[in-house]
A and B are shown apart, each in its own frame.
Chain A
Amino acid sequence: MTIMQTVSANLGNRKIKIQHDGASQITIFNEPLEEPYEHTKRRVINEVPLLQNIPMMDFQAKIAMLFRGSLTLKGEQLPLQGNFEVDIKLETSRSLDELPLLLVMKSVVDGLNAVVRDDKTICACSIEYKNRKTKPPLTKSPDVLSVALFKRTGKQRRLIQAADDVSIYVVPKKEPLFLDYDNDALWSFYVHDELDSIYDALRASGMSIAGGGPIKLTMNFEGGVMDKDLDNMARVYFRLLEKLGLQSRDVHRIDLTKEQAGKGCIRITLN
């Protein structure tokens, strides 16, 4: 039986409630935050020219191609309309240090952005890592990736298209390079301040995440979330978990969901 503690954090002139069990469960009663800047294809942010990482862009273009080709053959109109779920499996001889799962997920989802109308329509996403003991031949990719796209209707989901066991070199999401190296175009004080307050409240009441894996991470986002990107929200709270001691290399599986609700809430579980 886990004992949940209730604490509160001050966000400006507002107080929010947080519950946690000191080790593996956190519930934050607040509207989920998301990363303020999204920059998948734009060439300029705050008037600063930028260069996206070309291997990452190519990886995303390849993911898009794997789905677009098959869907076009089936006569589907692109982009697809509706709400979606994505399941990703990554089998590789590389370590999680090279392939942080949340960033791999982000990269795959950004690739699918060319197939679904908007990645905001993805309401659930999971990724699983499996270490391959055998090294592939020198000319082949060390990674084998499977991606499945489901259409969601009510609580049901139906497989639309899958790319199974593709030998493709996986490139996690990377930040772009800014030409003007003095500019901090990505910095946002707002998200950092809120996270700091939540972190302080958790820390002061004894929440800490022990090292060692494998860990299965589940994050559910509730509230006015339909216009927010699932992986962007996840990136914010993943940073919070990292501050609390979570190591990205210990996370072997991530499950994310979002759900429209009257009251905002973030539920995090580590197994």
Chain B
Amino acid sequence: MAVQIQNLSSFLVKNSAVPQFEITPQWFMVQRKIISEIYPDFPDPDTFRIYLYLCKHFDHSDKRCKRSKEKISIDLGYATKQPGAQRLMNYPREVDHALAWLENNQFIRRTNRNNHQAFQCEILTAPDFVPGINAFVQPVNVEYDWYSLKDNNHGYIMAPNKAFDDTILKKSPSVRKTWTDRKLKTWLSLYAHTWLEYFGGVDPDIVTIDSNGTLVISEWFCCNLKSSKTQVGDVIVWLISRGLLKPVECYFVRDVYYGDAGCCNPPAQTYDTKIVLRPYYLIQHKLESVEMKQKIGRMIL
């Protein structure tokens, strides 16, 4: 079933004096491997969100995530401190379980020396999954840093912190209902395919809107999310309706982004016009790259 965008023209980004996108310096890394048709999902919604939270608050300079269990529990709405209390009396079971699962399956390594010291951890290269025996195995000789991961073809997603604010990872039933696992996974995966210098947003081969307003979504992308095209289409429509993804009409020369139709003259070379989905939150250094120099002036931001 094709998913249709109603009133496409009202969603299309227009050049305006008001900023259309939010440019933000902070970003974090999540390995692409954890979202795939041959990798199991996290055992429950808590573990998935706590893992994302740890990735987001991981400090690459000292290779630590210094977030205590208390901080995690309070930030993600598992517990509130009683007025006047010095500390939480008990840690919520879900937090304990999630951290234990992540540690036992080698997604993280605990770095506090003993149980009296506050919980802190190191994030490890996401383990390989062996389907035959349903086991996770830590890859040898691949460090959890940008260069080592890239050199060993362990791709990662660069996601702006603001796009994954702690508020959308919270435990409350209403947040979980709004931000389902599928929505979080789709939202993350869309950032894996956002290459501003090449596409001006999300790769149109992954998702685009055709001239009839129909969403065209890659079969590979849906399969990677273990979802049908309709399920992924519904999430994308929802992201558009929330203004988190904005359709932009763009010029392409030989499949490479040239500029926004509303912001520059058509290129002198033969070109195509495509509707690209550009995430509302953009990472600042991506816009400041050498490759973007010629193009940034032709982009509505």
Contact = CB atoms under 8 A, between A and B. Distances in A.
Contacts of A64: 153
Nearest to A56: B220
Contacts of B269: 181
Contact of A138 (B153, B228, B255, B256): B228
Given A65-B129, A72-B137, A78-B140, A114 B38 contact: no
Contacts of B254: 181
A171 interface: yes
Interface size class of B (residues with CB under 8 A): 35 or more
A62 B36 contact: yes
B128 A68 contact: yes
A177 B255 contact: yes
B273 interface: no
A54 B129 contact: no
B193 interface: yes
A61 B154 contact: yes
A65 B132 CA distance: 13
B131 A58 contact: no
A72 B139 contact: yes
Contacts of B218: 55
Contacts of A73: 130, 133, 135, 137
A199 interface: no
Contacts of A96: none
A41 B38 contact: no
Contacts of B253: 181
A66 B218 CA distance: 24
A139 B141 CA distance: 34
Contacts of A65: 33, 38, 128-129
Given A58-B36, A177-B198, A66 B131 contact: yes
B220 A69 contact: no
B152 A169 contact: no
A30 interface: no
A66 B150 CA distance: 18
B185 interface: no
A268 B255 CA distance: 36
A206 interface: no
A72 B128 contact: yes
Contact of A54 (B139, B193, B222): B193
A51 interface: yes
A57 B37 contact: no
A60 interface: yes
B140 A72 contact: yes
The listed residue with most A CB atoms (<10 A of its CB), out of B37, B150, B229, B230, is B37
Contacts of A61: 32-33, 153-155
Contacts of B131: 66, 166
Interface size class of A (residues with CB under 8 A): 20 to 34
Contacts of A213: none
Contacts of A78: 140-141
Given A68-B128, A168-B38, A181-B253, A57 B227 contact: no
Interface string B13-39: 000000000000000000011001110
A169 B140 contact: no
Interface string A45-85: 00001010011011011101110111011000010000000
B135 A169 contact: no
Contacts of A54: 155, 192-193, 203
A43 B129 CA distance: 28
Contacts of A69: 127-130, 135, 137, 139
Contacts of B38: 62, 65-66, 166-168
The listed residue with most A CB atoms (<10 A of its CB), out of B135, B150, B155, is B155
B37 A141 contact: yes
B291 interface: yes
A14 interface: no
Contacts of A177: 198, 255-256
A51 B195 contact: yes
A49 B221 CA distance: 25
B265 to A, nearest CB: 17
Contacts of B193: 54
Nearest to A65: B128
Contacts of A155: none
A140 interface: yes
Nearest to B151: A41
The listed residue with most A CB atoms (<10 A of its CB), out of B131, B154, B197, is B131
B219 interface: yes
A168 B37 contact: yes
B224 interface: yes
Q: Which 6 A-B pairs have the closest CB atoms?
A: A69-B128, A138-B228, A69-B130, A181-B254, A169-B223, A69-B137
Given A57-B153, A139-B228, 14 more contacts: A49-B291, A54-B203, A55-B221, A65-B33, A65-B128, A68-B137, A70-B130, A139-B222, A139-B231, A141-B223, A166-B38, A179-B291, A181-B254, A181-B256
